[in-house]
A and B are shown apart, each in its own frame.
Chain A
Amino acid sequence: MTTEISTVVLCPRCGTSPVAGDRFCETCGADLRERPAATASGTADHVEITLDGGGAAVSDREYVRTRNEDAVALKSVDAAEAPLRAVAVVCDGVSSVRSSELAARAAADAALDVLLEGTAGEGHTRRAVAAAAAAAAALVPRGTPEPPACTLVCGVHDLADGVLTVGWVGDSRAYWLAEPGAAEPARLLTADHTAEAAAAAGTLDPALAAVRPDAITRWLGADGDAEPDLVALTPAGPGALLLCTDGLWKYLPDADVLAALALPALRSGGPHAAAAALTAAALTAGGADNVTVAVLPVHLHQEER
């Protein structure tokens, strides 16, 4: 790998101050948890985020949607006491419900706040998802019909022990990306919470599922079932964790294809180039949905030492 995890992140606003594990810059006060610039509608149409070597994310409004309802939050921490960790959260506002971009934004922020603190692990990720669900549910008074809703997928890379912990609710996905024949082969890590999947598992009448096979069965929001599924992985070789909304995987579902698109860009231009390459590929493939992509590069744990 050519990219390195940096232990010093410079402030994106004033560019001068070394910042260690702090939420705000010690010189200019800038919010170091990079996130979409808000417009009148609450989210930006095109957002790019790069951490110095720590990961990157791109979120884009595609051709059909009127608003970008996805939200992404990304941060690496290097608190003196806590182990260095890289964290990413991707949320996708449910398009059938009004104001869901607000739910996506609130959920991504709330999850990130939890993920940046404490000891990484399953309970940690569950708490983050619970906080995100509460934040999304709190947007409207109880009993509001069709409350804002969103999906969530989050990844934590604990650089002390090399463990990746992924949690998700809904149909946003996490992929492990690696070179062909790698020790840790590229694959889809998550299983969508959709009607189709529920029918396959025998928990939903197939006839019902056939009406909207891609309808999600779990989501964050006041009326949602926000029980996350979790997966933990200690990669046996280098690669990258990809988090994405269905705006990417609907067009490019295959892990090997995604890896073939992302990894050359990651090698030559870093995680931001990888995220940009994937977004561009989704657009080329005829993207009709918001696409949000976050890439966290993963080095071999042994190489870190």
Chain B
Amino acid sequence: MTPSGTAVEAEFTVPARFTLHTDQNPYLAPGTTRVDAVVTVNATGGGAPADAVEIIVVDCSGSMAGEKIRSARRATAAAIAELRDGVAFAVIAGDHRAQQVYPDAGTARADERTRAEATQRVGLLRADGGTAIGAWLRAARGLADRHPDAVRHAILLTDGQNGEDAPVFTRAVQSCVGTFTCDCRGVGTDWRVDELRTVSSALLGTVDIVARPEDLAADFRALTGAAMARNVPDLWLRLWTPQGAVVRFVKQVAPAVEDLTDRRVAAGRQRGAYPLGAWGAESRDYHLCVDVMPAAVGKKVRAARVDVVRGDGLYGDDALAEANVIAEWTDDASRSSAIDPRVAHFTGQVALAGAIADGLAAREAGDVPRAEERLDEAVRLAAESGHDDTARLLGGVVEVLDVKTGTVRLRPDADKAGAMALDARSTRTITVGRTG
């Protein structure tokens, strides 16, 4: 029994209705092997709410003093107010170690009393000490481990750089993989986007800057609400490929780019599984690229079967939904050379994210020609795909001399928060509808 083990009836998840949809051009030129497809995983119809754990980790290091810690208190209170009755929760104050703020140990079940108590404690948070993000994550993991079957989510807020040695931090992040999902927020401009992205990427969450402390409460409320709406705790994408096939990559391409290729775990004969984290009524897109053994012109093969399963059914045959990726060889070049519009779109979105990351890294390193070359490409890709948010953020970092040819010059006066927002949001993509 956990200290928080009050009698709350377990609410078991009613499976949401999942559908998978493949967009691809199945036609290959004779002798070629590469098959690209975008698979959309969509769930509708909700189902019953699942047991959930919400852990809020607030940076209380000395630099948070003043408006930042006041906003963090308000934001944490807003997140607590958003918790559904019966959801397990805890608040951790982070400095050079992790201190549990509420409850005294373990997690509490949300009700009127616990929400009021927690809000009161949060109001007393003081900013004092260092930053040890790895230690905070380990503490969150300890709490998540008490609820193995729940939708487990954490919000991590920081305003500064991590003070831990890189290996300590990396090991801590790795130890949390698969135990909870984590949305990371940086307040102010003294934190590092790459550090928080390491956490959010490994823990299947998001990263963003909240430049103005007063916006924090709305953001925390939205994050908590979204976590509450998820009712499938542990979803996996499985990929069957034919004998002799090689998986080049598996990438989430919407709502944000996340390369899952190296997160494959074996899931039976010719089958691997990739973690997707918790899932609600939502839609995400995945770009798969597989090399298959070529067959004769006119032959058709299944290049991949994609399905989604729960974490406890990784090796079973109870897929929630499945879809095929097909390869068919033809000597009609007009068919084999066509690129599926959605595959093309997301290839462009991934290239856009890469161009921004490279460009900002070069800018940081003082390599102006390289930065301008890559951000130039980013401006063009953003304009082509109609990614207005990114185009606007790019405009804060570079001066666009010509949108069409994409000639840009770095702004010497670029706003730091703007550049960090561009970095943090560089992997966000926009989707396009299907034609025909």
Contact = CB atoms under 8 A, between A and B. Distances in A.
B301 A27 contact: no
Interface in A1-56: 13-14, 23-31, 36-40, 44
B330 A38 contact: yes
B360 to A, nearest CB: 41
A104 to B, nearest CB: 15
Contacts of A31: 299-302
B242 A29 contact: yes
A29 B301 contact: yes
B243 A37 contact: no
B324 A24 contact: yes
A149 to B, nearest CB: 22
B270 interface: yes
| Interface size, B (range) | 20 to 34
B134 to A, nearest CB: 44
Contacts of A39: 297-298
Contacts of A36: 298
B92 interface: no
A27 B270 contact: yes
Contacts of B243: 14, 27-29
B303 interface: yes
Most chain B CB within a 10 A radius of its CB, from A28, A29, A36, A44: A29
A38 B27 CA distance: 13
A21 to B, nearest CB: 13
Nearest to A22: B302
Contact of B303 (A13, A23, A25, A29): A29
A36 B292 CA distance: 22
A258 B300 CA distance: 34
Contacts of B327: 29
A28 B303 CA distance: 9
A44 B298 CA distance: 10
B33 to A, nearest CB: 12
A28 B305 CA distance: 12
Given A40-B331, A40-B332, A28 B301 contact: yes
B218 interface: no
Interface in B359-410: none
Most chain A CB within a 10 A radius of its CB, from B298, B299, B330, B332: B298
Given A29-B242, A29-B292, A24 B302 contact: yes
B296 interface: yes
A8 to B, nearest CB: 18
Interface of A: 13-14, 23-31, 36-40, 44
15 contacts: A13-B301, A25-B242, A25-B302, A28-B242, A28-B243, A28-B244, A28-B301, A29-B241, A29-B327, A30-B299, A30-B301, A31-B301, A37-B296, A38-B298, A44-B298
- List 9 A-B pairs, minimum CB-CB distance, nearest first: A29-B242, A24-B302, A38-B298, A37-B298, A29-B302, A29-B301, A31-B300, A28-B242, A27-B243
